[in-house]
Structure 1
């Protein structure tokens, strides 16, 4: 059983293990490492470390590239100003932990000798990393005393205590910032002050659309100011953004037109959560920001995408991929080529089943239509069929019920792939030209998708259509020949294909 000293060492320095790291992580280290001329050991200095986890040339408008240097202090376990290969392995292992954010913060503030966070050290490091125009925070407040003890009874924090304090810190920062800007104590602040509070406490978690339109929150209620209730409701929405996204997707999937109302969202939230988690004001705030460019009561996934920032993602999978720089980079489409193939096969199978079922059910009607179009009179001026019902009854009388399905096999062989090809090609082309952020597609792309689908359909199905028609009218021709005393052999589909040839099978396709 590990001693207290060993547990503290493991918490702060990590566990010494064999360097069985993935090849991408090792390659990333070696690419930016430099060699110590005296010992021959390879290591990363601060700039090399930043280059390894935050490559140049990427978008860092949410979190500045130089801010990643703070992680160097975490990776440098022995505080020697260098990150060795074992340090790099431990750091990547740390990132894979489910509580990585809390543990990284703990290692920044904790005393290596005690394995705890001292209040004075914590306050000093916090003050050192804030700017002169940062909204002030009172560490002597009643809230801070609950976690750290009163002024005369301060105590250090263990990792679980520190993590719990950190979870509530953002909410307390927002509360104190609101009091700071509520100068006359009426419970309201200006929209610009609200924007500053959110940008300082949560800008890295929110979409640009949301950050730009923060002052419009005052429009959800009468008046030109923002209440503390509005601020807390907004804070609750962004804190539960993952759950919000899940509820939205569930509700939209159940909607017939892919759009939902505020009531639909609240109903779905009540179904998927044990307790009523979202208030009416929180739902109003969500729909307010999603409908700024689409002022209607019903919104789709493209409208909510501007609020649910796709660049904010979980850390799962970072170990094998290396540490990507900005949060935008890992959101490369996860739909691989194999995924596209499987989706196309799925669509093809569904289209085939639907097409075959539909063709079989309406085939008797199609046969009657073809007989009516191609009927010949036994005598001049006398039609063979008076109407569609007469045609159907004569087919049953002369050829039996099976006569209504004469030539159905080529029809099934043709229609099933026809529908499948048409749907698959249409979905494939539309998917390539659809904007992944908004879900919109240009009219020209719609026309191209329809044209490509129709062209592929004709190329495949025209020969089968020709054969089907020949088989449908064959029974009628045999009866007419029998009346004239002629001997006509019933032909198969393969005979018709060989007889017509390639040119004949595509006759009329243009």
Structure 2
């Protein structure tokens, strides 16, 4: 076959039976060009090419790690891209390959191209036997190509029966089942229906080694402990194969069962209940369920039905890249002592202070308006100065010095907000961590409320002095104008005037406000992130916008429902004028306001409080989480966790399809492509310098 004929035939094989290839857009062409130029290292007569290694660098998923799929196995895909069979891929070849990857069935198209040796668009018996035989001949497990299964698909040797693309996809999907059957028969020499544990390990490693973690592969022989005979039956081999084949379904059912569990643990019966509820025409047998529990429990020796496992237990079976928790992460955590704990808490204080300052400054003008509205007494003639929030904004701007008037008292607010936010955030995280089940990662609702309440209670030590100074400064301009008093003085004057004891006036009201607020807020925020935005599901990390929305929405009910306590606190802490009612404490203030001004007075400034608190806490927590992730404390838990790779793939879809195409071939043999890679290396060398046209 000539080179030109081979080239056109290969293109025809790719495009036939499945329609015309999708035309790439300009942005894709530019991206492909950048990728090609970045990796191309072979220059022949001014034209760049990719050799095998460079091609693998260009198309292999960056997060694969090459721990379950060996790097050289991607050379199988190089055979598809190398249309002219010269050991090099030009830019035009690369564009064709990338365009192929855009197809929704790219994985099967790639597999078909590997077997279609003569690029005819069909696969016959000899082609299938040649390609498959070369890739399984070193496995130690022979395959009889003259079996009835092969004849059903391909006909007898020498016959003209060939497979088109659609027929091939069914053949390759069913090959593993026949491979398992023949492998079991090969090892079952005496025909008693059993094989040894080592033989079982050999079979599974050959046909599914790329799908299982090292932990599971190593413990495959322990499957024999599930029955008294210490051997493994064909039923168990097929059951294990079914689990691997339907691993995605297994994972979804496990996740659903865990979410419905109160304590984050599930039993075999819980899993089977989910199968019955969610699978219409299929299901998993009790043997298959027990095998899942056997490997998830690491062979604890307990009866499968009596074990309640967490989602973390199943990860070693579900994730081929799973490693036992005795890695660098554990070592780093173990090396952290008292000094590191103190340092990390101090670091969190700084991050919380910066985030709190940004949030407070952003909404301070709204807070001033809220304070003015809450402090005016509606039961006194001539007391109502502001009709609504907009009227308040207009009068403050015109009567008290413009924009600067809206930031009166902001400095002590910024100075005090750092320890306040740091205390609130740190205490909430600390208590949540203590009350969270370390195995399931679950925290009950009551514990979330306790953590939030503790955070709100602890912050009052800082919040009360801060707020009373802020309120006095925010009301100073109004009092100076109404009573003809001296010009407003600064924060130091207020502190000297009140004294240490006076700074904690209204502390009980502050507790009544901050404890319920934090209980509602932090609990709602945690559930918004997890349940609404799906944080942590398959390693998902929320964006700044998602964090901002979650934090902002969570602050709305918390702010409005605690408005009565905030109104009473404002009245207690503001400087009373002549003729105004003086409240004896929080309870007296609450009932006096309700009696004299009506229940609606307790919700004065409620909307302004929502408008202020919601964005303030939204900005504060969103900024805090971004800062904590961007600048984690060195050696701290956030920095340590960053060492562990996430399971969520951020690779683009074409890279995923390239990998999946290879996985279809690896289902035939986990060694698929290694023989071809060795042949290619000998034929072309690492960096071929020339070729004949």
Using the size of structure 1 for normalisation, the TM-score is 0.65
Determine helix, strand or coil for the equivalent of 2:225.
Answer: helix
Query: Does residue 349 in structure 1 map to residue 552 in structure 2?
Result: yes
Cα shift at 1:421: 7.8
Cα shift at 1:211: 1.9
Query: Does residue 175 in structure 1 map to residue 378 in structure 2?
Result: no
More helix by share: 2
Query: Does residue 75 in structure 1 map to residue 81 in structure 2?
Result: yes
Contiguous gaps of at least 5 residues in structure 1: 1-5, 313-332, 372-383, 440-510
- Superposed CA deviations along residues 373-430 of structure 1, whole A, max 9, x for unmatched, are xxxxxxxxxxx99997x99766655665457668878876787678768976897799
Cα shift at 1:25: 1.9
Cα shift at 1:30: 2.0
1:359–1:415 contact (8 Å) kept in structure 2: no
The structure-2 alpha-carbon separation of the partners of 1:264 and 1:22, relative to structure 1 and needing over 3 Å to count, comes to farther
Cα shift at 1:173: 0.8
Corresponding residue for 1:25? 32
Measure, in 1, the Cα distance between the counterparts of 2:22 and 2:278: 42
The structure-2 alpha-carbon separation of the partners of 1:219 and 1:34, relative to structure 1 and needing over 3 Å to count, comes to same
Determine helix, strand or coil for the equivalent of 1:276.
Answer: coil
Query: Does residue 34 in structure 1 map to residue 42 in structure 2?
Result: yes
Determine helix, strand or coil for the equivalent of 1:137.
Answer: coil
Contiguous gaps of at least 5 residues in structure 2: 1-7, 323-537, 573-582, 633-637, 647-693
The structure-2 alpha-carbon separation of the partners of 1:350 and 1:195, relative to structure 1 and needing over 3 Å to count, comes to farther
Query: Does residue 98 in structure 1 map to residue 301 in structure 2?
Result: no
After superposition, the CA RMSD in angstroms is: 4.4
Alignment equivalent of 2:221, drawn from 203, 211, 215: 215
Alignment equivalent of 2:319, drawn from 309, 330, 335: 309
Measure, in 2, the Cα distance between the counterparts of 1:425 and 1:287: 42
The structure-2 alpha-carbon separation of the partners of 1:350 and 1:183, relative to structure 1 and needing over 3 Å to count, comes to farther
Alignment equivalent of 1:259, drawn from 251, 258, 265: 265
1:359–1:412 contact (8 Å) kept in structure 2: no
The structure-2 alpha-carbon separation of the partners of 1:430 and 1:48, relative to structure 1 and needing over 3 Å to count, comes to closer
The structure-2 alpha-carbon separation of the partners of 1:136 and 1:84, relative to structure 1 and needing over 3 Å to count, comes to same
User: Which structure exhibits the higher relative contact order, with contacts defined as CA atoms closer than 8 Å and separated by 6 or more residues?
Assistant: 2
Alignment equivalent of 2:276, drawn from 247, 266, 270: 270
The structure-2 alpha-carbon separation of the partners of 1:415 and 1:224, relative to structure 1 and needing over 3 Å to count, comes to farther
Measure, in 1, the Cα distance between the counterparts of 2:226 and 2:557: 47
Q: Within 5 Å, which residues of 2 pair with 1:337-416?
A: 339-356=542-559, 358-360=561-563, 363=564, 397=595, 400-401=598-599
2:136–2:142 contact (8 Å) kept in structure 1: no
The structure-2 alpha-carbon separation of the partners of 1:402 and 1:67, relative to structure 1 and needing over 3 Å to count, comes to closer
The structure-2 alpha-carbon separation of the partners of 1:43 and 1:159, relative to structure 1 and needing over 3 Å to count, comes to same
Cα shift at 1:133: 4.4
Cα shift at 1:92: 1.4
1:111–1:118 contact (8 Å) kept in structure 2: no
Aligned residues: 399
Measure, in 1, the Cα distance between the counterparts of 2:601 and 2:56: 77
The structure-2 alpha-carbon separation of the partners of 1:276 and 1:81, relative to structure 1 and needing over 3 Å to count, comes to closer
Q: Within 5 Å, which residues of 2 pair with 1:223-302?
A: 223-292=229-298, 297-302=307-312
Cα shift at 1:199: 0.8
Determine helix, strand or coil for the equivalent of 1:42.
Answer: strand
Measure, in 1, the Cα distance between the counterparts of 2:212 and 2:222: 15
Measure, in 1, the Cα distance between the counterparts of 2:98 and 2:263: 44
Corresponding residue for 1:143? 149
The structure-2 alpha-carbon separation of the partners of 1:310 and 1:151, relative to structure 1 and needing over 3 Å to count, comes to closer
The structure-2 alpha-carbon separation of the partners of 1:385 and 1:76, relative to structure 1 and needing over 3 Å to count, comes to closer
Cα shift at 1:136: 1.0
The structure-2 alpha-carbon separation of the partners of 1:79 and 1:405, relative to structure 1 and needing over 3 Å to count, comes to closer
Corresponding residue for 2:354? none
Determine helix, strand or coil for the equivalent of 1:259.
Answer: coil
- Superposed CA deviations along residues 49-87 of structure 1, whole A, max 9, x for unmatched, are 234335999832322222222222211123233322221
Structure 1 stretch displaced more, 101-110 or 229-238: 101-110
Q: Within 5 Å, which residues of 2 pair with 1:101-140?
A: 101-112=107-118, 114-140=120-146
Measure, in 2, the Cα distance between the counterparts of 1:149 and 1:408: 80
Measure, in 2, the Cα distance between the counterparts of 1:364 and 1:42: 73
Corresponding residue for 2:361? none
2:212–2:319 contact (8 Å) kept in structure 1: yes
